[in-house]
């Protein structure tokens, strides 16, 4: 997976010449001090590069032009130390094509009551400089995030760091290639969508490959490589002897190696498959999809390229964080105890969310008519998580997000041969499922314990797509209304982003 530590955000400070050189020198030194402190913060995983104080329309245009064409710059952090009359920003913001965060902070944390004079007021006027900048960004209908807080404050740094993670995920997605083995599961609607619009909107490309192309890579794998991978399985997972020595696990290992080699050679970051197009493959890739996801690949089953792309983006955002992220599906309900959802899939749940050492098992699949596939079986620790589904509404993409709490099953599930997770959706299962369905959210999701709904909202904001969040405050009547308002909004504004 792409290393997000290589990415940069540029710290650009706005001011003007009205206050004289001495103030501008102070502004510059404060800006450098703040950018360096943010760069050193453990909460910000990318480099924060201090850029010069900009005081003219030409300077602003030039720095934004450079940011646009810089390979590693994934966003601009704008700070108005003083008042920066924002007509100067029109030309620059007009061409900005990187995500923008307005860091609304000021150099001093407290007001120096006994010392404060008009010189101090002139030098420390973020409070109204930030408002002038904010007006212009709003007036230009530019999507951005506003983070308010003192730059030494941990919460503000976490917010900024999380935003940079989202920018990294969006940036990685821009250049991502998704391989699609086979087509969509027949007759399924929600996993379909406009791939051209997706490429225009997000940047990633989705292209199809015959399973025969993949078979060639699988056939090229040597027996010794298969034996080596089986040893790795034995070291990492709990495996019964007969599974370890059986033919199914060898076939599964060969599929993993072939798939990995295909994806590496084609420089793909994500993929889809479907149990209906497996001609020549001995089994549906189970452990292969699981382990590739754990290594940062995006995955979507049944041809679901939108979820595959989203899994990849979320994996990039969550790099190095606790928790994990996986392809997921709402499977079955427990209507007692206020209602809970058991999430799983036929096989393909990422072990990055496992609460314990996974068990590697082989069982029949019951659909698809292939040989018994190998898969990793595990449960998931309790705690907060999110589910997100990206759907194509015809006129726009909509990201549907639900905040959930992972809970533990009432009893063991000895006969369920797949990884599983039980969650309690917010505000409760009734409202969550009703709202999700009204919003057209799919059965496939990205499930993540690493990121929060705020990441996904920021992601939608950067991509200029709709985002609806179902959380503890969701009221079905208001939620339904907001979907109707969005219908109008996205017709009016989607070309302005």
- Residue 273 or 302: the one with the smaller Cβ distance to Mn ion is 302
* Residue owning tokens 């001995």: 282
Interface of this chain with Mn ion, residues 322 to 381, rule: CB under 5 A: 329
Intra-chain end-to-end CA distance of the chain, in Å: 29
Which region, judged by CB under 5 A, interacts with Mn ion, from 60-68, 114-122, 300-308, 373-381? 300-308
**With respect to Mn ion, which residue has the nearer C-beta, 317 or 346?**
346
Q: Where are the alpha helices (DSSP H) in 47-202?
A: 57-69, 90-95, 118-123, 126-139, 154-174, 195-202
Q: CB of residue 162 vs Mn ion: minimum separation in angstroms? A: 29
Question: Token pair for residue 51?
Answer: 């850029």
**Minimum CB distance to Mn ion, residue 344 (Å):** 10
Q: How many residues bind Mn ion (CB under 5 A)?
A: 3
Beta carbon of residue 277, minimum distance to Mn ion (angstroms, whole number): 14
Smallest gap, in angstroms, from Cβ of residue 181 to Mn ion?
15
Closest approach of Mn ion to the CB of residue 248, in Å: 22
211-270: contacts with Mn ion (CB under 5 A): none
237 versus 299: smaller Cβ distance to Mn ion:
299
Specify the residue, 330 or 461, whose C-beta has the smaller distance to Mn ion: 330
Sequence-separated (6 or more) residues with CB below 8 Å from residue 217: 258, 259, 261, 262, 265
Shortest gap between Cβ of 188 and Mn ion (angstroms)? 8
| 435 close to 300: Cβ distance less than 8 angstroms | no
Site for Mn ion in 48-67 (CB under 5 A): none
Report, in Å, the least distance between residue 304 CB and Mn ion. 7
Comparing CB distances to Mn ion, the nearer of 251 and 329 is: 329
Give the nearer residue to Mn ion in terms of CB position, either 130 or 442.
442
Angle, vertex CA 361, rays to CA 358 and CA 367, nearest 5: 120
Contact between residue 377 and residue 358 where contact means Cβ atoms under 8 Å apart = yes
Using alpha carbons only, give the angle 166, 171, 172 rounded to the nearest 5 degrees: 100
Residue 425 Ramachandran class (φ > 0 left, ψ -120 to 50 alpha, else beta): beta
Of 80, 84, 86, give the one whose Cα is nearest residue 127: 80
Q: Does 301 bind Mn ion (CB under 5 A)?
A: yes
Which listed range, 26-34, 98-106, 296-304, 393-401, lies at the site for Mn ion (CB under 5 A)? 296-304
| Beta carbons of 256 and 292 less than 8 angstroms apart | yes
Which residue matches tokens 């027996």? 223
Minimum CB separation of residue 271 from Mn ion in Å reads 15
Q: What is the DSSP annotation of 384-445?
A: EEEEEEEEE-SSSEEEEEEEEEEE--SS--TT--S-EEEEEESS-HHHHHHHHHHTT--SEE
**Site residues for Mn ion, window 140-159 (CB under 5 A)?**
none
Q: How many CB atoms lie within 10 A of CB 196?
A: 10
| 272-291: contacts with Mn ion (CB under 5 A) | none
Residue with Cβ nearer Mn ion (239 or 301): 301
Nearer to Mn ion, 105 or 191 (CB): 191
- Residues 385 and 325: their CA atoms lie apart, in Å, by 9
Give 330 or 424: the residue with its C-beta nearer to Mn ion. 330
Query: Running DSSP on this structure, what letter comes out for residue 349?
Result: -
**Interaction mask 387-426, Mn ion, x per CB under 5 A:** ----------------------------------------
**CB-side exposure of 239: number of CA atoms within 13 Å?**
22
Closest CB 444 distance from Mn ion, rounded Å: 6
> Which parts of this chain interact with Mn ion (CB under 5 A)?
301-302, 329
């Amino acid at each position: 997976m792409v290393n997000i530590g290589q990415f940069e955000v540029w710290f650009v400070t706005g001011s003007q010449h009205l206050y004289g050189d001495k103030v501008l020198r102070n502004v510059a030194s404060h800006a450098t001090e703040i950018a360096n402190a943010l760069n050193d913060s453990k909460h910000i995983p990318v480099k924060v590069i201090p850029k010069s104080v900009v005081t003219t329309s030409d300077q602003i245009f030039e720095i934004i032009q450079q940011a646009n064409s810089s390979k590693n710059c994934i966003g601009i952090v704008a700070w108005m130390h003083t008042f920066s009359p924002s007509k100067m920003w029109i030309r620059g913001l007009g061409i900005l094509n990187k995500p923008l965060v307005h860091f609304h902070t000021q150099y001093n944390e407290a007001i120096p009551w006994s010392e404060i004079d008009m010189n101090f007021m002139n030098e420390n006027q973020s409070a109204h400089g930030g408002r002038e900048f904010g007006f212009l960004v709003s007036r230009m209908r530019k999507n951005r995030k506003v983070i308010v807080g003192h730059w030494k404050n941990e919460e503000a740094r976490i917010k900024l760091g999380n935003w940079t993670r989202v920018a990294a995920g969006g940036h990685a997605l821009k250049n991502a290639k998704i391989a699609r083995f086979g087509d969509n599961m027949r007759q399924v609607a929600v996993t379909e969508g406009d791939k051209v619009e997706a490429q225009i909107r997000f940047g990633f490309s989705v292209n199809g490959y015959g399973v025969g192309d993949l078979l060639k890579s699988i056939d090229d794998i040597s027996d010794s490589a298969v034996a080596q991978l089986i040893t790795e399985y034995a070291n990492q997972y709990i495996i019964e002897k007969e599974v370890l020595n059986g033919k199914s696990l060898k076939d599964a290992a060969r599929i993993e190696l072939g798939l990995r080699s295909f994806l590496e050679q084609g420089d793909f970051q994500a993929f889809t498959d479907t149990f209906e197009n497996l001609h020549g493959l001995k089994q549906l890739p189970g452990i292969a999809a699981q382990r590739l996801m754990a290594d940062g690949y995006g995955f979507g089953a049944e041809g679901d390229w939108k979820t595959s792309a989203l899994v990849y983006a979320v994996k990039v955002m969550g790099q190095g964080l606790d928790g994990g992220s996986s392809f997921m599906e709402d499977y079955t309900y427990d209507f007692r105890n206020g209602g809970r959802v058991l999430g799983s899939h036929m096989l393909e749940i990422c072990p990055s969310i496992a609460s314990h050492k996974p068990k590697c098992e082989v069982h029949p699949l019951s659909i698809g008519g292939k040989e018994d596939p190998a898969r990793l079986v595990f449960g998931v620790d309790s705690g907060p998580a999110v589910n997100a589904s990206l759907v194509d509404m015809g006129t726009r993409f909509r990201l549907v997000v639900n905040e959930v709490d992972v809970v533990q099953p009432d009893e063991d599930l000895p006969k369920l041969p797949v990884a599983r997770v039980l969650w309690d959706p917010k505000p409760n299962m009734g409202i969550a499922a009703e709202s999700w369905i009204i919003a057209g959210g799919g059965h496939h999701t990205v499930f993540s314990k690493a990121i929060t709904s705020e990441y996904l909202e920021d992601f939608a904001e950067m991509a200029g797509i709709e985002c609806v969040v179902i959380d503890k405050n969701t009221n079905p009547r208001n939620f339904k209304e907001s979907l109707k308002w969005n219908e109008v909004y996205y017709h009016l504004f989607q070309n302005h982003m």
